[in-house]
Chains A and B, each alone.
Chain A
Amino acid sequence: MDSPANETVLRADGLAKTFHLGFLRKRVEAVREASFDVRRGEIFGYLGPNGSGKTTTLKMLMGLVFPSRGRAEVLGRAVPNREAKRKLGYLPESPYFYEYLAPEEFLDLVGSLFDVPRRLRRERAAKLITRVGLDHARGRPLRKFSKGMLQRIGIAQALMGDPELVVLDEPMTGLDPIGRKEIRDLMLELKREGRTVLYSTHILPDVEMTCDRVAMIFAGRIRSVGPLSELLTARLLSTEVCLRKDVGHIPQLPEGGKVRQTPDGMLVELPEGTDVDAFLTAALAAKSSILSVTPRRESLEDLFVRQASEKGAP
């Protein structure tokens, strides 16, 4: 039995989905193998490039698409399960809502699907509208909402059932930097409230800022799962030395070293294994002025690109 902190709230076990498209029933393997688990109270990022199978995986977890193979459990129950859905909030990718409804009407509808009593529904809807910053849009039909506003009402509807697990499909897509920050802050707030968040994205800086653990999917197959700190190698990839422009001269570069101009001066990139001390000593001897020395370790982007370019990736 998992301890509460490590309790698994969602488990995908060998999920796969093959579609048969068109008259000739052409096989398209949207998801080949997705296995991962999401633990209580964490923010879990589901990363992958466009078309890698993120949305299809989430749809299988939400019971919108039936898996061809594998199984999934949400809150201890096999998907799809109505009792599990009661504790689940979901925001689909590029959400579309009933455009003729005003936000309070829409949230009221969602609340009634969760069997929330009318009075509580109204209170909760009012609080959520305030929470997502849509007070000014009360009474306005959703068709008049901007993309960012729709995303916000989408998050409000995902929270209407007071869920333990919140699943967001590409919640930052199409948002400006302020909108993205608001969503990031909201996810962190949900975590502080003790909720678990699973979200899919291909926007890596957001993942680095929010996620406890991630899973990376490429061409329908999950390549790595775990905490970011474990996935990113600690090894030094290179060292960047910035030298002031027109002061002294650059000492001889080691093999694989590169130089490029920057507004402040010259940026020298020393490959892994270079004797950096010796290079700096040589630079000082050549009367160069050293502005900065930056060791470069593997970033999430490096890992993402590395995994994407590995054999079998798209």
Chain B
Amino acid sequence: MSRVIAIAWNTFREAVRNKILYSLLFFAILIILSALAIGNLTLHEEVRTIRDVGLFGIDLFGVIIAIFVGVNLLYKELDLKTVYTILPKPLWRWEFVLGKWLGMLLTLAVQMVVMGIVLAVVLAAEGASFDVPTAKAVWLLFVNVMLVTSIAVFFSAFSSPFLSGFFALGCFVVGRSVPDIRALGEKAGPGAKAVLDFACNLIPNMHLFYPSGAIIGAEEVSVHRHFVGPDYILSATGYGVAYSIVVLILAMLIFRKRDFV
């Protein structure tokens, strides 16, 4: 495990010293701060707007950063040939992939915490608090980001960063639309419904991680009023972790068979 930790720590250190990530984080913070201005344009809905725009900013930039870093995670090692120095060391290839993924997860966790703190500051400026539903929403967004990262790493194990980014973004967009796709299937014929149902079961259901506005248990959930309970958080987290593990194992299997020419 110490070797995995060494790779993870190095990945985190690389991210910390990467100026592009700071730029992305800066824009994320800018969006969250802009929530303050947007909130002031509304009538008695300042806190609601700040919370919505803030969570939107965390979601959007969390996913952008996850895809950006995820697709480059393995590719950069191959492109810069650093992998030639590391893999001949007494290290399994799966340990390398796992270490890279964990390092990236740590990076994203720190970024989510920073964005969460900025949101808390902005809410405090309007006299509101970073309450439990908001914390739950941020946690779900983090699980979502973890899943997107795993998918990006999976694609980057065998394709270029551009294609990996394209596929990962595609998975995210389609994954968020799973309820809409299912609804479409209901209206379609039995053949199309079967195909769409199969696709929905295969594609990660990322709508689980942004449930605000959805009907769960015959009740509409909202981060402003009645949000999801611990059971939902636990099952959504379990789903995200399980899906991540599966795609990560696939990435490891592909990486294990690769020739590093």
Contact = CB atoms under 8 A, between A and B. Distances in A.
Interface of A: 19, 56, 59, 62-66, 82-83, 85-86, 88, 90, 92, 94-98, 100-101, 105, 109-110, 112-115, 154, 157, 161
B84 A112 contact: no
Interface of B: 2-3, 5-7, 10, 13-14, 17, 80-92, 257, 259-261
A100 B92 CA distance: 24
Contact of A85 (B7, B81, B90): B90
In order of increasing CB-CB distance, the 10 nearest A-B pairs are: A112-B6, A92-B84, A113-B89, A85-B90, A62-B88, A90-B88, A64-B260, A96-B81, A100-B17, A86-B90
Contact of A82 (B13, B84, B92, B257): B92
A63 B89 contact: no
Contacts of B80: 96
Contact of A98 (B3, B10, B90, B261): B10
B240 to A, nearest CB: 30
Contacts of A95: 81, 84-85
Nearest to A160: B89
Given A113-B6, A115-B3, A97 B82 contact: yes
B13 A100 contact: yes
A61 B3 CA distance: 22
Contacts, number: 81
A94 B81 CA distance: 9
Contacts of B257: 66
Given A64-B88, A82-B90, A59 B6 contact: no
A154 B80 CA distance: 15
Nearest to A95: B85
A154 B90 CA distance: 17
A82 B6 CA distance: 17
Nearest to B260: A64
A96 B78 CA distance: 10
Contacts of B6: 109, 112-113
Nearest to A63: B88
B19 to A, nearest CB: 11
B260 A113 contact: no
B3 A97 contact: no
B259 A85 contact: no
A113 B90 contact: yes
A113 B6 CA distance: 7
Contacts of A114: 89-90
Nearest to A90: B88
B69 to A, nearest CB: 15
A98 B6 CA distance: 13
14 contacts: A19-B259, A59-B84, A63-B87, A64-B88, A65-B261, A66-B257, A83-B90, A90-B85, A95-B84, A95-B85, A110-B85, A112-B2, A113-B6, A113-B7
A65 B83 CA distance: 12
Nearest to B81: A96
